[in-house]
Structure 1
Amino acid sequence: MLAANPGKTPISLLQEYGTRIGKTPVYDLLKAEGQAHQPNFTFRVTVGDTSCTGQGPSKKAAKHKAAEVALKHLKGGSMLEPALEDSR
């Protein structure tokens, strides 16, 4: 899915997918830990009945990871499968 949509982040792809199915993704910060020079954040994203988490050294990276995991889960594990049909 990411390869089929160059330039789009997992967050934007998940937002488009959520809009398409009528369920907007909701992000929640679960944890912020570590020292100031080496933080670790954990975010959960929920789309309908599906919840996935992601961790990273920044809030942005953690949200990206959570969205990426959710996309893999929602699309049956294939990130190369197109998520959206071209609606032109």
Structure 2
Amino acid sequence: MRSTRATYAIERLNARSTDLRYSMIRTATELFILAQNAGHDLPIRVSEPLELDAFVKFVNAYGPQKPKRVSKLDVEFEKQLQKRD
């Protein structure tokens, strides 16, 4: 199914944002729209109709982001790089 990447992007967004729930609207012309669920009301459209790649990129950048994990080795490596400069 073509929209699997888009579905997974929505799942990741919902995992990152605990307060709001998001869903995807798929148009007849194979475009995708990000929508914020509004309870019993109509969903609130967050994005314009986008193609699959642009939609996934938009959803991944939207909302809160997970902090990047940094190991102790990464910190020490950065210190060594700064000493060289």
- Shorter-chain TM range is 0.3 to 0.5
Instruction: Name which structure has the greater RCO, CA cutoff 8 Å, separation 6+.
Output: 1
Larger Rg: 2
Relative to its length, the structure with more helix (as a share) is 2
Higher strand share: 1
TM-score, normalization by structure 2: 0.41
Q: TM-score, normalised by structure 1?
A: 0.40
